[in-house]
A and B are shown apart, each in its own frame.
Chain A
Amino acid sequence: MDLNLTRVDYLQVGVTSPRTMRLLPEKKAKVPQKVAVADQSGILQCFNIKKGETQMSFKTLPGNKITRLELGGAVGSPADKIFIASGSEVKGYSKKGKQFLGYDTNLTESIKTMWVSGSHLFLGGNYIFNHYVDCKDEDYYLCSDRINDMLCLPLSRIQEVTPVLACQDRVLRVLDKSNLLYELEVAGPPQSLALFADEGGEDGSEVLYGTTDGKIGLVHLDRTSPSHRWEVPNEKRLGGVLCLDNYDMSDDGVPDLVVGRDDGTIEIYGYDDADEPTLRYSTSLSESVSSLQGGVVACQGYNEVVACTYAGWIQGLTTEPQQKKAGPGEMVPLGADAQNKLGTLKTEIDSLQARVLQEREKYHFAAMNDKAISAVPHFDVNDKFTLNRDDASYTLSIEVKAAIDNVLLQSDVPIDLLDTEKNSAVVSYSASDTDQSGNFLLATYRCQANTTRLELKIRSIEGQYGTLQAYITPRLQPKSCQVRQYQIKPLSLHQRTHVLDDSRPMNTLKLTGQFSLAEIHSWVCFCLPEIPERTPPGDTINFYFLSTFLDTQLDCVYKKGEGTFRSDNISTISILKDVLTKEATRRKINLNISYDLQDNSIPDTLQRIHPKLEYQLLLAKKVQLIDALKELQIHEGGDLDFMSPEYRQILEESEKLQEEYKKQPCHLERLYGMITDLFIDKFKFKGTNVKTKVPQLLEVLDNYELQNLIEFFNSGGS
């Protein structure tokens, strides 16, 4: 069944954090619900919609930034109490707006996530987790990586208190009181959690998760044996999942899955016969969706999804048909209320305009005064710099509340900017002399009017590290721009993983010296992405990594005074060695470096690259042939019998092939580059410089045959 939803705007509030809007429950089904929303200026407001007009129930005064809003209530009664978290404080409001709770937790970290269930309160900071019962401290857990989200399995159905933490290092941590029960690895860094269906599925232990790289999955979290139910991959490369909800939009008795993403996409999934999710509806708002929920808001009996965006727009996607009053495209389909709305807006704007003019004059007048200063406050920037596993590239997204005028990108390392269809900004590259200014990239993005969100794709090269800076200028007077910095790490294309294939031959790099655990952790953190900045607890730290491009692996084990790095890719070891020695020398620490290289690791790595390389070569060859074959087809009048089946197949699949080729530009060149690095690094460890042999190597690659390549590596090109 297809859903047909129309978009309605309700209200705009301040910039919102993720998951700060909820619908208050009503006793009767399908009765318009109230919306509670909290923004970063600290205002909590609650409103309902009557005949298209918003009616405010209550509105608090501005205060600290509110980071989370949850609903709760005594066991057995409807959860209509509003809980907000800001800083280290939790406040509770009744639905009438009366504050009944103000609890300062005195936590050292500010609260990032919250879960309320009866008299149980669960709070999560960056790394710490706390459990309170009736505001009394019960349990505590220190997590080794950042906590992105948290929930507790429904206490009404499961006796033991079982909190679930979604952590940045790609695992769900399931706790039992203050202890870790087990970790479960999921498809990506989980960013948001939700209980499945009504209160967690059949037995209350089914949990939905959404990852920063846009995947969604369902897991069954038993107390002993967890299991994966299903996973939705992110083929269309949509944004990361910020919020999830279950709501029966189609009235078929089964709750649908509603998903909100940080690129503004809202999706609704239904379930097929095998209980696998299938996409039913998808739309895109232009700003990231920070929270959403299904319910009834505007009109009795009509289901809708209410979404709140980063910039604070509250919008509904409703099943209510909007054009019942007039024919299609009627200029003035709405009556007096819409006109009223416009009228009030207009007077508001006029008076604001007058005030702004006055203030502007004052500001300009101040420029005459020698002592006056000009201090433009920081504007909020919602930015993200994430690695995509599928094509080993980074996505940079920048979102500002006001429209963006232009963005200047500057980098002191060579990187490539890739064109993405999602942005319509006009890019222009600027020449610069690299020697003097150290700029490898200078590019401006001039945005079209009303662009509040910009998404860019960036490709980095492993071994080349530095900083990417973005100067963001919004269209806002007085004009100011903000700099954001993003680190391009030496092993930028590596990703955390939790399993290691022990059967591969591994090269080892061993460091010993007078360094503390914190020091070596900071070095490793400098080299590799997805590691918590703060040193994890314990004496020995162990991380596994996977190269997103080549699928080679890296195992890091380190403790005070000693570090061991093992990888099947010799280039990885070489990069690590260079960077670590540089870092240690910078801090004047003596390092003893020893390495143990496995000669058979090279053929093994080449073997691993082989299928990718072969596939890419074949693809390139096929794509090259398409045009020529098409021309033949035209000349021969469309009759293809004379062609070999191979060519006919190419013609049949031409569109698919071309699309695939387009999707991964320069893939072959990058593979060539990696193989060349491998070649150079292998002999670098042996103390010979083989740079002069590179043309020969490229020749071997052009007439690719795995065995020849391995031999070339063995012989060193001589």
Chain B
Amino acid sequence: MLVPVFTLKLNHKINPRMVTIGKYDGTHPNLTAATTAGKVVFIHNPHSRTLSGGRASELSLDSDISLLSINKSVSSVAAGSLDPVGVNDMLMVGTQTDLLAYDVQNNTDAFYKEAPDGVNAIVIGTLGTINSRLAICGGNCALQGFDIEGNDMFWTVTGDNVCSLALCDFAGEGMSELIVGSEDYDIRVFREDEIIAEMTETEAITALCPMTTSRFGYALANGTVGVYDKSSRYWRIKSKNQAVSIHSFDLNGDGVDELITGWTNGKIDARSDRTGEVVFKDNMSSSIAGIVEGDYRADGNTELICCSVEGEVKGFLPATQELKGNLMDVNIDQEKVREMSQRKQNLLLELKNYEENAKAAATDRPSGLGDLDKGKMGIIPANTQLQTSLSVNVDSEGKGPHVDLFVSTTNNTILRAVLIFAEGIFEGESHVVHPNQNQLTNELHVPIIPPKDVPVDLHIKAFVGHKSSNQFHVFELTRQLPRFSMYSPCSDQVPEPKSSVTFTVNERVQRIVMWINQHFLLNNELTCDGDLNAGFMSLRGSGPLFIQMKSGGQVTVRTDDMDLAGDIVQAIASFLGLDELQVTADFPLHMEELKGILVKVDDFHEVRQKLTAEMADHSNLIRSLVVRAEDARLMGDMRNMRRGYMELYDLNRDLINGYKIRCNNHQELLSCLKQVNQMIQKAGNLRVGKFKTQVVSQCRQAIKDNNVSALLKIIKTGSS
């Protein structure tokens, strides 16, 4: 049994996910974490006490803890070395508005950068071929990398708010790629600023960690934890608790890292990277805040260090040879025997089911099934089958447009309930239809409204029996919902959308027809001779969609929804196996909107400057008022003193109001910036391969230069 080698009580609360460890003096690791107040970072420094003055203040002489006031709510912390030699680690603290790089050893700020996109996650290391080590921050749809001097060395956009980051040699070429998990359920892999892989998950990705070679672990907000090898998933498990922190560490000493997970209920477990099998588990009394590794006892061994939100710390050493990988106090043989007995038991039970079934079949039954079914065990004809069909339902019975799953049995048995397990399309992981007792029939309609255009496997379980049964047969089957299921065919009469994407592919029209048949939910297969013009209407209300193709290979996708256009381009490109694709995009409405947003951004910037100036004025005024009022008090002039303080009070109120306005202004600015970033991302998504990267980097340049016309041109044509 593996037991912790040390436990500590830090007497400070720790914010979840905000724990790191750094060798700030180059040798001794210090545990660093943001505390609950959200404004302070504390550094646990058991080995040396050299800090004094500056930002850090030592709590008291006999304490190992130094506090660092940030005076803003901290959103992420990370420690790592930015200089190429990499001796002294630097502490990076991210808030919603800026990034601070702090040199703990010398107690100075290394650099301070405004980050209007916020800093949700920080990772430190080298990326691709960029020479210097970078601190890469992920914020509102944007990724930014800074070198040791605070120079902006790397910038790109991603689909939504970034939740998690990791550096990992994804492609196995000896260079690190950046893995980004975001709120739109996507894991994207960036080789510098080019996306080389994109995996869709079922929830926001809350944590990522690199593992051995090209593997990496991930955790989702819905309690899923798993491991990817390159872009294919190795395994995953789901718990009702959420994983707070994941880390890779070789705990059982077999030379391969395990995935260590810290959960909200205080559980820590280590799982084999290959199978997900639990090799070790332990418990803390409260939720885990973070898991790191370091040589915390300064004896040359690296420990796994787990911290809970209540400030409890446990350190584990990797298992020694004697334990032979058996970290839990279990008798393996006994477990094996138990498992096999369980299997035997299950087989016996199954056998018994068949025997009883045969017995029931052999009984004479002159009056049909009814008599035999006294026990209400739900006897059904053996040839009962479950039939399902999927169709698009534009609008019926006021349920709104939806995809209709129709389930029925082939005889007069009834469907008591239908359970559908599917990921990402329901609120939870399942949807149930359970009709009223007196409305039971042999068919059921299940409306499904997938919120996103993703292909989904529907695992259907149907309870089949009779009205009075208390036991039902469970029919299980799986249907796939095609990617673009929320679109119904429509005629050419519908006015064509104003926007379009045009590109040329070197393929026959039939190939595109085939693609449409596979990815849309059609009652009749689409056939086409000559030029293709397929019209669809979105059930989500984003207007019509036309896919047109001339025999020359020119494809036009007409829709006012830029996201949808991007999705279709990407789907066609991957279907046709295209590595690169340049398009001409014509989105007049979006361009107008973008122009408007850019104007608004300028306005907001202006307002902010004005407000900042006002605030400076006010603070000067406050200073003089305080001096005046205090003077009056010392002189015993109570009337003036009171007047002074009254004015101060009014001023204070003004300041608070000003602050509120500034906050709102900032919020608006943030949302505008997010829209701009998203627009760039969408524009990129209309292209494939290097053209995609090109659009993103050129757009960025245009925004830096404040060149709106160039920006619009890039979005339209793909280059300036």
Contacts and interface: CB of A to CB of B under 8 A. Distances in A.
User: Which of B355, B379, B473 has the largest count of A CB atoms less than 10 A from its CB?
Assistant: B473
A368 interface: yes
Nearest to A429: B428
Given A377-B353, A478-B353, A481-B471, A329 B323 contact: yes
A338 B240 contact: no
A425 B345 contact: no
A154 B381 CA distance: 58
A330 B324 contact: yes
Interface string A627-638: 100110011011
A377 B356 contact: yes
B490 interface: no
B333 A334 contact: yes
Given A479-B476, A480-B473, A630-B36, A426 B342 contact: no
Contact of A374 (B351, B381, B430, B461): B381
Contacts of B323: 328-329
Contacts, number: 244
A111 to B, nearest CB: 22
Contacts of B238: 426
User: Which of B35, B239, B369, B381 has the largest count of A CB atoms less than 10 A from its CB?
Assistant: B381
A421 B266 CA distance: 12
Interface stretch (A22-30, A352-360, A610-618, A692-700): A352-360
A238 B648 CA distance: 61
A631 B337 contact: no
Interface in B334-356: 334, 336-338, 340-356
A243 B440 CA distance: 44
Nearest to A484: B470
Given A373-B361, A401-B349, A428 B427 contact: yes
Contacts of B474: 473, 479-481
B430 A444 contact: yes
Given A372-B382, A426-B238, A634-B35, A477 B353 contact: yes
B423 to A, nearest CB: 11
Contacts of A410: 417, 432, 434
A446 B345 contact: no
Interface string B427-441: 111111111100100
B436 A359 contact: no
A269 B343 CA distance: 35
B375 A378 contact: yes
Contacts of A374: 357, 379-382, 384, 473
Interface majority SS on B: helix, strand, loop or mixed? mixed
A355 B348 CA distance: 10
Contacts of B375: 378
B322 A637 contact: no
B322 A327 contact: yes
A347 to B, nearest CB: 11
Contact of A369 (B265, B343, B383, B471): B383
Nearest to B12: A634
A135 interface: no
A379 B474 CA distance: 14
A201 interface: no
B36 A627 contact: yes
B59 interface: yes
A484 B67 CA distance: 58
Contacts of B338: 9
A425 B474 CA distance: 20
A718 interface: no
A429 B431 CA distance: 8
Contacts of B384: 374
A429 B348 CA distance: 34
Contact of B372 (A366, A375, A421): A375
A356 B351 contact: yes
A348 interface: yes
B223 interface: yes
Contact of A352 (B348, B383, B476): B348
Interface of B: 1, 11-13, 35-37, 40, 59-60, 67, 223, 238-240, 265, 322-327, 331-334, 336-338, 340-358, 360-361, 369, 372-373, 375, 377-385, 416-417, 419, 421, 426-436, 439, 461, 463, 469-476
Q: Which 5 A-B pairs have the closest CB atoms?
A: A428-B428, A329-B326, A372-B382, A375-B360, A479-B474
23 contacts: A311-B345, A329-B323, A330-B326, A331-B324, A332-B333, A333-B333, A346-B340, A352-B347, A356-B350, A362-B354, A373-B372, A373-B382, A374-B379, A375-B361, A376-B353, A379-B349, A401-B345, A408-B419, A428-B426, A430-B427, A437-B434, A444-B419, A638-B60
